[in-house]
Amino acid sequence: MLKNLTFKQRIWLGHAWRWLVAIILVGFAIFPVLWVVSASFNPSNSLATAKLIPDNVGLDNYRYLLNTPEFPFLTWLWNSIKIATITTVLSVSITVLAAYPFSRLRFKGRETMLKLILLIQVFPGLLAMIAMFTLVTQFGAIIPALGLDTHAGLIMVYLGGAMGVNIWLMKGFFDTIPRDIDESAMVDGATHWQIFTQLLLPLMRPILVVIGLLTFIGTYGDFILARILLKSTEQYPLMVGLFIFTSGEFSKKWGAFAAGALIGALPIMTIYLLLQDQIVGGLTQGAVKG
């Protein structure tokens, strides 16, 4: 049958198949999002009997979410943003300072330390939950500000878990920058710190954005560690707060939960829109001119 088709018809058929597959994949990906959006505007407060287009569209779920005193949604949202932002800034700063000597300097034990960092990342994080809880508890006995039920203690744990993979990513990018830049600067009398801050760091902006974004998303969406280390309602981040919000035995507030999930997704969407040029741009774009 295909042999009887003309050249133009075969091209059209090929494009039609591509469009069909693309539409199916996009629909498969976007359907859960549309269902959550529909549930957030559905006053029936049920997911099992909900429709994609609800009969009575309203903002009751949003009003209930924002005006319920025993569930401080805005406080949870602010806690998540604060914890994720502080963790991202500290993690990126520490990672870039650690990756520079691994890439540019040669010292005894360098390769062994790199392999050890990679080996530690092989073990699942769930295996260290009890150890993390014990460490934070002991830290809290000495320094209460870093103990249980504190954002500082949670941030400290996040920093330890995120640096391993990020150091390898940052080192890999450092390795792609020609060493001629360092050597030329050293001939002119520049120190390692001047080379790092004035020459290399501006070239690192794409990878800094990528690592910062990944760290922010991973921290912002974390549930397990926050649930283990934080105890009071006022300290909860958004993910833990929404879980508590819907954990009633006889009332599952799925409509309000869907509304909270949509509001909680706004910071991530905003960051993607603001930094999409840096993410899409090549990591080495503009690194070397002529």
User: Whole-angstrom distance between the N-terminal and C-terminal Cα of the chain?
Assistant: 55
Pair (237, 256) in one structural domain:
yes
Identity at 105, one-letter amino acid code: L
Amino acid in position 280: V
Please report which confidence band the pLDDT of residue 77 belongs to, taking 50, 70 and 90 as the band edges.
very high
DSSP 126: G
Q: How many domains does the chain have?
A: 2
Residue 216 burial (C-beta neighbours within 10 Å; 0-12, 13-18, 19+): buried
pLDDT in tens, 216-275: 988 998 898 899 999 888 899 999 988 887 776 556 678 888 888 899 999 988 888 887
Domain range for 275 is 69-280
Q: What sign does the CA torsion over 170, 172, 174, 176 have? A: negative
Q: Which pLDDT value is given to residue 249?
A: 52
Tell me, what's the pLDDT at 286?
A: 38
Instruction: Report, in angstroms and rounded to the nearest whole number, the Rg of the chain calculated over CA atoms.
Output: 25
Rounded CA gap, 223 and 238, in Å? Answer: 9
Average pLDDT over residues 73-81: 93
Would you say residue 271 lies in a domain? yes
SS3 state of residue 177: coil
- Token pair in block for residue 171: 């080192």
Query: Residue 210 and residue 212: Cα distance in Å, rounded?
Result: 5
pLDDT tens string 190-213: 888 888 888 888 888 888 888 888
Burial, 106: exposed, middle or buried (Cβ in 10 Å; 0-12, 13-18, 19+)?
exposed
Q: How far apart are CA 95 and CA 174, in angstroms?
A: 12
64 CB-near residues (< 8 Å, 6+ apart): 253, 255, 256
Task: Evaluate whether 151 touches 83 at the Cβ level (below 8 Å).
Answer: yes
Residue carrying the six token digits 């830049």: 181
Which CATH number goes with the domain that contains 235?
A: 1.10.3720.10
Contacts of 73 (CB under 8 A, 6+ apart): 65, 66, 238, 241, 245, 260, 263
Q: Rounded to two decimals, what is the model's pTM?
A: 0.82
Same domain, 217 and 80: yes
Report d(CA 285, CA 283) in Å as an integer.
Answer: 6
Q: Is residue 235 part of a domain?
A: yes
* Average pLDDT, rounded, for the chain: 82
Q: Are 10 and 2 in contact (CB under 8 A)?
A: yes
Residue 25 lies in a domain: yes
Task: Identify the residue whose tokens are 């998303």.
Answer: 217
The helix or strand, by DSSP H or E, that contains position 103, with its residue range, turns out to be helix 73-104
Residue 122 sits in the same domain as residue 171: yes
- In the chain, the amino acid numbered 28 is F
Residue 144 lies in a domain: yes
Q: Is residue 287 part of a domain?
A: no
Residues 130 and 34 in one domain: no
List, for residues 269-287, the tens digit of each pLDDT value. 888 888 777 766 544 443 3
Taken as a whole, the chain contains a residue count of 290
Q: pLDDT band at 46, cuts 50/70/90?
A: low
Q: CA 74 to CA 63: how far, in whole Å?
A: 12
One domain for residues 127 and 145:
yes
Q: 236: which 2 tokens?
A: 């909860």
Percent of the chain with pLDDT over 90: 13
Q: Give mean pLDDT, residues 38-64.
A: 76
Give the model's pLDDT for residue 287. Answer: 39
Q: Is residue 288 part of a domain?
A: no
Residues 175 and 248 in one domain: yes
Torsion of CA 90, 116, 209, 286, to 10 degrees: 130
| Cα–Cα dist 99/218, whole Å | 21
Q: Among 28, 45, 65, identify where a domain stops.
A: 65
